[in-house]
């Protein structure tokens, strides 16, 4: 009898070991979180399509982002809805074309009295409906007046700068302008903590702040929007990264951002929420190439920041969610930053905004490698808000002052071979489609936020 008891005890022990030991991770006590994954969007400023090693850069060293791509998915045809900052961020956070929310014309400046309308619903507000803790850490640039600041757009916390890091007297003087009077503030909610903060410390301070937020919220669902102000010109890196990159000062800056991503992912691991967190890394628009080697690279793409060539609006994008997003896969479907709001809403079981948006739920494309996405046309608006082009399937029509262009973006990845004369019917059909889609948005255009 004793032997039998011992055998039963041993069997029970092994069964329990199998249940709780090996599958410990899967049956953790964070049951609630499993249905409410944490969401982190890391949105950097002016990083080009070709600035990461995993996107083909030969000299920048980005091991953490390369690893993130190897463990997650690289999106090779990911677009932002504008080639400049404020409208791109409006599109990201609202899931709508900047024109739909009245923010398509250029960027906001320290003298601006407009901003993203508080009536618009951001990703943060969508997730507040599911009781997520939310933080915006970094650069906002959707209105620096009190009523437009992050805490009025669904973010519990804001720590960062309200507009671009060159929008200060100090930086503009360095860049040759003497009539600029504003200083760059570092804000906590709407309180100014510092004026003209030491920008060499920014990437590090924002990273640490983000890590604190993650740790504080590791037991409940959260949404972190970490918007690094760099590598927007002027570029800065902390002393530890200065003069370390073979790519020069721009490389130092990228490599510190890469370090930052490593810190964020490491924090997810140490807090045990790695497998319950959906992380997206991308950029707000293409590289600011007028600054030559101080600016980044669009890789094989034509054009840069401020243009509707691919280099202006197609940006690197990596998503990672262990066990959910297939590892090492390259997703070549056309996906845009407007798609993130409905995608995140679906993944988190949250309600979509009541106002009309333009993004689509692309969770199937992100979670299953082989899922095909129905093609959807994408409109290109210039930095002044003017409609300039459309991508529909593999074709792109671009109507510029310098000419009309038709490209097959799948076989002609660098927009080198104009098919305009060969395919006049296609040109006409696309021109009609583009105008029609834009006219609907124009009709439905909502008002920008104003004081």
Active site residues: 85, 141
272 interacts with a second copy by CB under 8 A: no
The count of residues interacting with a second copy (CB under 8 A) is: 43
Give, for 75, the enclosing helix (H) or strand (E).
Answer: strand 73-75
281 in contact with a second copy (CB under 8 A): no
Q: How far is the CB of 84 from a second copy (least distance, A)?
A: 22
Q: Does 293 bind a second copy (CB under 8 A)?
A: yes
Residue 54 found at the interface with a second copy (CB under 8 A): yes
What's the closest the beta carbon of residue 323 comes to a second copy, in angstroms? 18
Name which position in 25, 131, 240, 332 contacts a second copy (CB under 8 A).
332
Query: Which of residues 179, 191, 401, 416 is near a second copy by CB under 8 A?
Result: 416
Q: Which of residues 363-402 bind a second copy (CB under 8 A)?
A: 394
Q: Does the protein bind a second copy through residue 346 (CB under 8 A)?
A: no
Residue with Cβ nearer a second copy (134 or 331):
331
Residues across the chain:
451
Helix, coil or strand: residue 334? coil
In sequence order, which residues have a C-beta less than 8 Å from that of residue 440 and are 6 or more positions away?
Answer: none
Pairing of strands 191-195, 185-188: antiparallel
- Residue of 292, 370, 374, 401 interacting with a second copy (CB under 8 A): 292
* 67 is a contact residue toward a second copy (CB under 8 A): yes
Cα separation values, 75 from 82, 165, 322, 337, 369, Å? 18, 28, 16, 11, 11
- Least Cβ distance, residue 74 to a second copy (angstroms): 8
* Cα–Cα dist 140/158, whole Å: 9
Of residues 119-138, those binding a second copy (CB under 8 A): none
The residue within the footprint of a second copy, chosen from 16, 19, 330, 451 (CB under 8 A), is: 330
Contacts of residue 450, Cβ cutoff 8 Å, sequence gap at least 6: 113, 114, 115
Handedness of CA 348, 349, 354, 356 (dihedral sign): positive
DSSP track, 308-332: SSHHHHB--EEEE-TTTSPTTEEE-
Q: Could you say which DSSP state residue 299 is in?
A: T
Supply the minimum distance, in Å, between the C-beta of residue 435 and a second copy: 27
Q: If binding is defined by CB under 8 A, does position 66 make contact with a second copy? A: yes
Considering only 12-20, 48-56, 128-136, 194-202, which stretch makes contact with a second copy by CB under 8 A?
48-56
Q: How far apart are CA 72 and CA 399, in angstroms?
A: 36
Please list, in sequence order, all residues whose beta carbon lies within 8 angstroms of the beta carbon of residue 117, skipping any fewer than 6 positions away.
101, 102, 446, 447, 448, 449
Whole-angstrom Cα distance, residue 353 to residue 48?
31
270 makes contact with a second copy (CB under 8 A)? no
- Does 297 participate in binding a second copy (rule CB under 8 A)? yes
Residue with tokens 């009709």: 443
Beta pairing class for 78-79 and 335-336: parallel
Q: Is residue 201 a contact residue for a second copy (CB under 8 A)?
A: no
| 449 near a second copy, judged by CB under 8 A | no
The verdict on 423 binding a second copy (CB under 8 A) reads no
Residue 246 binds to a second copy (criterion: CB under 8 A): yes
Is 76 a residue that touches a second copy (CB under 8 A)? Answer: yes
Distance CA 52, CA 35 (A): 32
Does 250 bind a second copy (CB under 8 A)? Our answer is: yes
Classify the phi-psi angles of 362: left when phi > 0, otherwise alpha if psi is within -120 to 50, otherwise beta.
alpha
Nearer to a second copy, 63 or 262 (CB): 63
Interface with a second copy includes 300 (CB under 8 A)? yes
User: Which listed residue (28, 200, 414, 450) binds a second copy by CB under 8 A?
Assistant: 414
Among the listed ranges 2-10, 26-34, 37-45, 240-248, the one in contact with a second copy (CB under 8 A) is 240-248
Does residue 444 interact with a second copy by CB under 8 A? no
Task: Show the beta-strand stretches assigned E in 86-237.
Answer: 114-115, 133-139, 157-161, 185-188, 191-195, 222-227
Strand 133-139 relative to strand 222-227: parallel, antiparallel, unpaired?
A: parallel
Gap between the Cα atoms of 335 and 375, Å rounded: 9
Is residue 17 at the binding interface for a second copy, with CB under 8 A as the rule? Answer: no
Query: Any contact of residue 412 with a second copy (CB under 8 A)?
Result: yes
Residue 57 interacts with a second copy (CB under 8 A)? yes
Q: Which helix (H) or strand (E) holds 380?
A: strand 378-381
Of 193-201, 205-213, 323-331, 354-362, which segment contacts a second copy by CB under 8 A? 323-331
Contact footprint for a second copy (CB under 8 A):
49-50, 53-59, 61, 63, 66-67, 70, 74, 76-77, 246-248, 250-251, 292-293, 297-300, 314, 328-330, 332, 394, 408-414, 416-417
């Amino acid at each position: 009898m004793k032997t039998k008891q011992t055998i039963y005890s041993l069997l029970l022990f092994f069964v329990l070991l199998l249940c709780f030991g090996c599958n410990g991770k899967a049956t953790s006590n964070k049951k609630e979180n499993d249905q409410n994954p944490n969401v982190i969007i890391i949105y950097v400023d002016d990083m080009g399509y070709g600035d990461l090693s995993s996107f083909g850069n030969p000299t920048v060293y980005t091991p953490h982002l390369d690893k993130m791509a190897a463990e997650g998915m690289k999106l090779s045809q990911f677009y932002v809805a504008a080639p400049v900052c404020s409208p791109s961020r409006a599109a990201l956070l609202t899931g709508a074309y900047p024109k739909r929310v009245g923010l398509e014309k250029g960027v906001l400046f320290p003298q601006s009295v407009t901003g993203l309308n508080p009536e618009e619903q951001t990703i943060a507000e969508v997730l507040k409906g599911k009781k997520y803790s939310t933080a915006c850490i970094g650069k906002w640039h959707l209105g620096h007046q009190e009523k437009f600041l992050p805490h009025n757009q669904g973010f519990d916390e804001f720590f960062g700068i309200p507009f671009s890091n060159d929008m200060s007297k100090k930086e503009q003087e360095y860049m040759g302008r003497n009539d600029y009077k504003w200083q760059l503030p570092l804000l906590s909610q709407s309180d100014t903590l510092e004026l003209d903060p030491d920008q060499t410390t920014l990437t590090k301070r924002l990273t640490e702040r983000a890590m604190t937020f993650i740790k504080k919220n590791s037991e409940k669902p959260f949404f972190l929007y970490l918007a690094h102000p760099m590598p927007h010109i002027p570029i800065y890196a902390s002393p530890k990264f200065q003069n370390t990159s073979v790519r020069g000062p721009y490389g130092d800056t990228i490599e510190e951002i890469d370090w930052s991503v490593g810190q964020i992912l490491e924090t997810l691991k140490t807090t045990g929420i790695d497998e319950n967190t959906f992380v997206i890394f991308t950029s707000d628009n293409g590289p600011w190439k007028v600054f030559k080697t101080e600016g980044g690279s669009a890789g094989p793409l034509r054009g840069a920041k401020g243009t509707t060539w691919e280099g202006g609006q197609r940006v690197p994008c990596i998503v990672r969610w262990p066990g959910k997003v297939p590892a090492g896969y390259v997703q070549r479907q056309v996906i845009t930053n407007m798609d993130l709001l409905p995608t995140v809403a679906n993944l988190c079981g949250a309600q979509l905004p009541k106002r009309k948006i333009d993004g689509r739920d692309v969770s199937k494309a992100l979670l299953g490698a082989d899922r095909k996405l129905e093609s959807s046309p994408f409109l290109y608006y210039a930095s002044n808000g003017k409609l300039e082009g459309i991508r529909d399937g593999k074709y792109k029509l671009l109507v510029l002052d310098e000419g009309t262009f038709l490209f097959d973006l799948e076989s002609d990845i660098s927009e080198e071979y104009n098919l305009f004369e060969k395919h006049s019917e296609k040109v006409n059909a696309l021109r009609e489609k583009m105008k029609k889609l834009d006219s609907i948005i124009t009709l439905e255009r909502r008002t920008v936020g104003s004081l």
